[in-house]
Amino acid sequence: MIWMLVVMMAMAGINGLQVPANAYSCVNHRCVAEPRGLEVKPGAMGLKLCEMTCSGNLWPLPWNVSLAKTAIAVSIDGIQHDAGFTSSLVHAMQHIFDNTLALKATECVLDAINATTLKINATIASFSEELKLETDESYTLELEDGQVLITAATIYGYRHALTTLTQLIEHDDLTHAMYIITSGIIVDNPFYPHRGVSLDTSRQFYSVASIRRLLDGMGATKLNSFHWHLTDSSSFPIEIKSEPRLTSNGAFSSHKVYTQREIRELVAYGKARGVRIIPELDAPAHAGAGWQWGAKAGLGELGVCFQHNPWPEACVEPPCGQLNPFNDHVYDILDMVYGELDYLFESDVFHMGGDEVHLGCWNMSEAVTKHMTNRTSKAFYNVWGMFQEKARALVRQEKIAIWTSDLTKAPYLNKYFDPNSTIVQMWTLSTSSDAKFYTSQGYSVIASYYDAYYLDCGFGNWILKGSDWCHPYHHWSVLYDLNLLHNVPQKHHKLVLGGEVALWSEEADESSMDVKIWPRAAAAAERWWLNPLKSSWKHAIDRIRIHRDRLVDIGIQADAIQPHWCRLNPGECTLL
């Protein structure tokens, strides 16, 4: 008792002030704060250790959990990994695990007497490093006195098990030692195969470091799909070696370009965190910067309406720009771009964009209208469909994804999109019956409903004074409680692949990215992993508060959920 008192006094001193550490006891599955003092009640523990052993701290919550309510001291020096084989990817996964534990011990860590050595053995059925929609992410995690056994179908299930294990090892503020749950078993796998974040890096350029930070958060939360909206009418910020004029005419500057080396490194960085990167090259609309050089090069107008003003005549927001669907050189260039993106990303799905084609743009462009015998809406939709078919034939991937649009409605949907190879990403209202409609037609769908999953909403309008088009701000509870299977018949449930939050960048950049994405993306992550139909956000608030702080600890500037006092006093901030 005397040595503990000395350590507590030494560690609590701040600028000469004595602030005793907070101590807790477990009472009816709740951590109860003890009265502050320099003497600690026998059996009391620090908050993180209490949360782990008493009330629960896992996020996302696994499917099947049986854990002891006790913990033993463990040494994080010399962690022993044995996955049955080794590779640079598996080593990277283990390195992330080791670093995560090291970050937990931010103060002085004392190796407790008789602390057990952490040994992690694994049995992995497949050593394939391919990461795709069908990848089996399941795992079983067994713990017994510091000995850990992981059984997984793939290395990505193994990675998820390591992520869960980091949450079962905590630093105790009172003893300044690391502790691991004494024993237990977790059997786990995700409910949905697609759990994603979409980021627009065309309207604002995001540094590679900021994208890595996003991937760090996704890995810590078991989100597995980064949908990279690479280009738009604002900029073309990617290096294309077969047609460098796209980049030289489309990038904001030479410092705001994603080189092919950087892209390859990000793909590897994502895989180590269980995240596949899906590229999107939006077309035929949302294509301006980068395509404006055709006429001078003798290739005709590759794009039309670029920077047209008044912009409402030709697009939904400035700058305007759409591809010329009748210029064969457009398809030659797309063929080269699609080929390079296929090599860089190794993705099983290619996102073709395909929304918000402005008929007014094409209607005012002689390069388009001279090929048309009439200018009815139906005629323009068929021109759009012609472009879609010709571009689709150039895509290397077996599956494509597209945004909902006028072309994904009857009578054009079945005419231009094959349900066996098309994923429809819905950015409509969550109260609509779109999921029911598309799945009834045989299409797989991803939900990105703007009234829940658009993370840039509720921050005002950048074009005029007042609210933005998708206000209000979507609180994390909205994302957590949204059931994607609403209105979808049981026989079509498998066609609902999952969900994706989106951060569009008209009024967001890397300085505000973290606070707009996190912890709301984490709330969606548990919904997509567990699909908890019998619980709501109120049952999850204590755990997501813990996970929010966990994200901050690894360098992510996640938004606050509630006053810090509420975490220090569990159960006292009663929800209404």
Backbone angles phi, psi at 156, to 5 degrees: -80, -30
- Partnered with residue 45 across adjacent β-strands are 24
Task: Characterize 38-53 residue by residue with b for buried, 16 or more Cβ atoms within 10 angstroms of its Cβ, and e for exposed.
Answer: eebeeebbbbbbbbbb
157: left (phi over 0), alpha (psi -120 to 50) or beta: alpha
Nearest CA to 317 out of 266, 351, 356 is that of 356
Per-residue CA distances from 209 to 144, 231, 244 (Å): 38, 19, 24
Cis bond before residue 237 (omega within 30° of 0): no
Alpha helices, H only, 370-433:
377-392, 413-416
Cα separation, 140 vs 144, in Å, equals 14
Query: Kind and range of the H or E element at 166?
Result: helix 155-166
Residue type for position 313: E
Query: H-helix or E-strand containing 199?
Result: strand 194-200
Alpha-carbon distances, residue 237 vs 6, 323, 380, 502, 570 (angstroms): 57, 17, 29, 19, 47
- Whether 230 and 204 have beta carbons less than 8 Å apart is answered as no
Strand (E) or helix (H) holding 92 = helix 88-104
SS3 40: coil
- For residue 403, give the 3-state DSSP assignment: strand
Active site residues: 356
Question: What per-residue string of b and e applies to 122-147 under the rule 16 or more CB within 10 Å gives b?
Answer: bebeeeeeebebebebbbbbbbeebb
Taking the C-alpha atoms of residue 206 and residue 237, their distance in angstroms, rounded to an integer, is: 10
Joined tokens for residue 394:
């150039």
Alpha carbons 139 and 510: distance in angstroms, whole number: 34
Cα 35 to Cα 4, 18, 142, 557: the distances in Å are 17, 15, 36, 32
Tokens of 473: 């701000």
Asked whether the beta carbons of 480 and 531 are under 8 A apart, the reply is: no
Instruction: Quickly tell me which residue has 């951060």 as its tokens.
Output: 503
